[in-house]
Amino acid sequence: MRTKFLLVIAIVSLLFAPLSAQDECGDAYIRAMTEKNPAQQAQLLKDFLAKCAGTGSQYENFANANLSLLNYPGKTPADAISYGEKALSLGGLDDLTKCQILLQVSALYSQSGQNLEKAKSYGLQVTEVAKAAKAKETEGATTTAGQWNKMIGAGYFTMGQAQEKAKDFKGAVDSYANSYTLLKNPQIMASIKKLGKTLYDAKAYADAEKAFHAAYTVTKDNDIAAVYAQSLYRNNKD
């Protein structure tokens, strides 16, 4: 009888030990997220991951996400990429957080000139996630359709950055033009004009014509129209 009783105690201990550990992880994550100082918050999140990563904690993905997005002293682009991609691989993020990480990591890859195909893919994923989220939007939701449009426009812009770095200039102009349609940001227009001038000055008139045709169709900008006309002339077209 005593042996059976001891066996029951052992089984109960095994059942409740993981729950206790998960409670500790949950408390550690909550402490980190209620900390106001960015440096201390980052350290608490790192402590949480050191203790709870790989244990099945429901907060592991968001801890990585926050370390990727949080601006804290000593953080490097490599840190932002590493934590961001870990959060993406774990899954379970809300659409807004996922879009923010994809945008950041895409931009960082483009700035470094590395993993440009991945950077382009991440930008494309932002447009897909944001479009799907916008389609699911219900009246009175906290994120408006306008905010999702901004995310879609930002996704196109990061795609354009990656394409420009990869010297896919036609693709870059198309992406920038799509971004401008949604965001109407003068800086995007400036990027389109600069890229088109680069093509024209390099005497890549056929590519310049294609790029400016797409850009003018979207923007109806007079400066773009002028260079588009010059490109047509150089290609012996009306």
Count CB neighbours of 7 within 10 A: 10
Q: How many helical (H) and strand (E) elements, i.e. helices and strands, does the chain have?
A: 11, 0
Q: Tokens 């370390």 identify what position?
A: 67
Tens-digit pLDDT profile for residues 86-117: 999 999 999 999 999 999 999 999 999 999 99
Tens-digit pLDDT profile for residues 109-135: 999 999 999 999 999 999 999 999 999
Q: What does the pLDDT read at residue 155?
A: 98
Long-range contacts of 195-204 (CB under 8 A, 24+ apart): 195/164, 195/169, 196/224, 196/227, 197/227, 198/169, 199/169, 200/227, 200/230, 200/231, 203/234, 204/169
The alpha carbon dihedral of 92, 93, 99, 104 has a sign of negative
Q: What does the pLDDT read at residue 138?
A: 65
Q: Tokens 């195909």 identify what position?
A: 117
Tens-digit pLDDT profile for residues 38-81: 999 999 999 999 999 998 889 999 999 999 999 999 999 999 99
Share the mean pLDDT of the chain: 86
Q: What is the pTM of this model?
A: 0.82
